[in-house]
Amino acid sequence: DLSFNVDHGYLEGLVRGLKAGILTRSDYHNLAQCDTLEDMKLHLQSTDYGSLLTAGNEDLTVSLLDNRLKGTILTEFRCLRAHSLPPLSTFLDYITYSYMIDNVVLLITGALKHRDVEELLPRCHPLGTFDQMAAVGIARTHAELYSAILVDTPLAPFFQDAVSEANLDEMGAEIMRNKLYKAYLEAFYAFCWERGGATRDIMCPILEFEADRRSFIITVNSFGTDLSGGDRRALYPSCGRLYPEGLQLLARAEDHEQVKAVAEYYPDYKLIFSDTEDGSSRTLEDRFFEQEVHLNTLAFLDQFHLGVFYSYIKLKEQEARNIVWIAECVTQRQKSKIDNYIPIF
Amino acid sequence: MYLLILQFSDKFFYSSTACTVLSRTLMHPTHADNYENVSIIFILHWWCFSGICYTIFDLGFRFDVAWFLTETSPFMWANLGIGLAISLSVVGAAWGIYITGSSIIGGGVKAPRIKTKNLVSIIFCEAVAIYGIIMAIVISNMAENFSGTTPETIGARNYQAGYSMFGAGLTVGFSNLFCGICVGIVGSGAALADAQNGSLFVKILIVEIFGSAIGLFGVIVAILQTSKVKMGD
């Protein structure tokens, strides 16, 4: 686009510079060779992370590593968000809404288990904070939650389907999470579609894949619970490639084989669901992550679009998951599974 | 009575054109879409209406292109050409510079080594503005006084001079505008690629050189257009 750089040129350059610091296969190889967390700290110092672990004098544990990694993502995101102008600022806000939804559900389930709000707040995802978070635990029904607390937050428009008079229980919180996420994903998809151009071409496939992945995961997770097909159908996001025929078939699926049969109709998902020949222990979740990483790396091949920001955040999160996985394997001396990370570049 | 309607329709037509242009430039693009569509449909209808009225009432002679071309002074065309030469070139250069400059600044945060090398892209964009000002000076030096007031006394050569200068200004202005934008977009890509991999810069520079050649073509053609210009008595 000809006027993209007026508002977003600096930030795009900045994000691409940050993307250059994402760990490569050789970095992961070096990290996997480490025997202790101290070695890993040494290796991480030579990457873009620099003094991530050397600052401060707390004990070097995997949870410290995890917190510090999340802290870097948070700082970078906040920096980008602070410098951004519309429509990039709305785009970045859309990225935070998914974390807000997770935080809301976390607080509600915590309140149901009578946990203290102070204890739950640090466990919330920092990217998804909003003002009235502490008050979320007080609500007892969906309608109360909405009208008292969430109507002022950015999540208000996603509540159209999720409001019901039923009391909030464990199952209800999960259903609410999926309904909110469905509305959020569809709104995000519409936003990206409306931007047009390269943003649409990059972001819409990513969001379609996300929608389909949610549909598959919801179906697979609902086997054995009392979530019927009709209820499931209300939770499937409709902005994916499975809509509408695939979603109808999924709603009727009763076991894993039938889900696999549905995936047969779509070449990408057929690959994901197919059994591997070498018998590597990749779970379904891992395969979905791999496909997500692949779609996100495509965003950097095009210039003057907003997709780079979304892809950067998601790839950084995947990198954090990779490093934590390697750290866990190293500390527990389970070197056999250490190669189950997903290399990005 | 009919003349009154037509005079009124003319004023309305110009004001509605102005409305559309203003609404497009001043408003945020998404908000202006509705206004723009309504105004464009309105204007098209007024054009059709005016054209039909002129034809029906046998007033087509009022839409007189020949009168317009001979009654307007060649100086107007000459100065419009000079103005367009410099202003469109500057718009192109500015567009290119901001596209490249913002990418260099962004990319230079994590890769400071690109800062000095990529100023070459900015220089290519700036050259476009220099072409514009050179042509503006060359064209303006050709404007001489002539002592004629009617189309016959002004003479064909003066009219030709005016139109040539206008054409040359348009040529160099538009070609520099697009050249500036082109070099800007390529320069932005060059900066970001250089930040990732230092060996790419020289290769993308070749693309930029080809891009800036098109501005030069515009200057050459403009020089040719004004080579036969001779204003005066």
Query: pLDDT, tens digit, for every residue of A281-319?
Result: 678 888 899 999 999 999 999 999 999 999 999 999 999
Same domain, A87 and A191: yes
**Taking 80 as the threshold, does the pLDDT of residue A204 lie above it?**
yes
One domain, residues A104 and A188: yes
Residues A102 and A141 placed together within one structural domain of the fold: yes
Cα maximum dimension of chain A: 56
Q: How far apart are CA A333 and CA A282, in angstroms?
A: 20
Which of A133, A162, A195 represents a domain boundary (last residue)? A195
Question: Which of A10, A17, A303 minimises the CB distance to B111?
Answer: A17
Same domain, A160 and A84: yes
The CA distance from B81 to the nearest CA of chain A, in Å, is 26
A161 lies in the same domain as A257? no
Statement to judge: residues A151 and A88 lie in one domain: yes
Up-side HSE of residue B8: CA atoms within 13 Å toward CB? 5
User: What is the number of structural domains in chain A?
Assistant: 2
Three-state DSSP class for A141? Answer: strand
Q: With respect to residue A305, please indicate whether it lies within any of the assigned structural domains.
A: no
The overall average pLDDT reported for chain A is: 86
Q: Which fold has domain B65-227?
A: Four Helix Bundle (Hemerythrin (Met), subunit A) (1.20.120)
Q: Is this structure's pTM higher than 0.90?
A: no
Q: B95 touching A, CB under 8 A?
A: yes
Within this chain, do residues A157 and A214 fall inside the same structural domain, yes or no? no
CA atoms within 13 A on the CB side of B233: 5
Which residues are CB-contacts of A16 (< 8 A; sequence separation ≥ 6)?
A300, A308, B106, B107, B192, B195, B196
ipTM rounded to 2 decimals: 0.85
A67 inside domain:
no
The C-alpha torsion from A239 through A243 and A248 to A252, rounded to 10°, is -60
Contact B181 A18 (CB under 8 A): no
If we measure between CA atoms, which residue out of B175, B174, B165, B166 comes closest to residue B216? Answer: B175
| Residue in chain A lying closest to B180 (CA) | A2
**Token pair for residue A68?**
């510090």
| A185: in domain | yes
Interchain CB contact of B182 with A (< 8 Å): no
Instruction: Mutate one of B33, B100, B109, B197 to test the A interface: name it (highest A CB count within 10 A).
Output: B109
B183 touches chain A (CB under 8 A): no
Q: Give the dihedral sign, CA A203/A209/A214/A215.
A: positive
State yes or no: pLDDT of B188 exceeds 70: yes
Whether A160 and A215 share a structural domain: no
Helix (H) or strand (E) holding B195: helix B156-196
Domain parsing of chain B, residue ranges: 1-63, 65-227
Helices H, strands E: what count in chain B?
9, 0
Q: Is A321 left (phi over 0), alpha (psi -120 to 50) or beta?
A: alpha
Reported residue count of chain B is: 233
What is the structure's pLDDT at A205? 94
Q: Are A235 and A258 members of one domain? A: yes
**Residue A34: left if φ>0, alpha if ψ -120 to 50, beta else—which one?**
beta
| pLDDT at position A322 over 70 | yes
User: Residues A218, A183: one domain?
Assistant: no
Span B206-216, pLDDT tens digits: 999 999 999 99
- Of A252, A274, A296, the domain-final residue: A274
Q: Decide which of A173, A195, A217 is a domain's last residue.
A: A195
- Supply the range of the domain harboring residue A232: 196-274
Phi then psi for residue A141, to 5 deg, are -125, 165
Amino acid of residue B196: Q
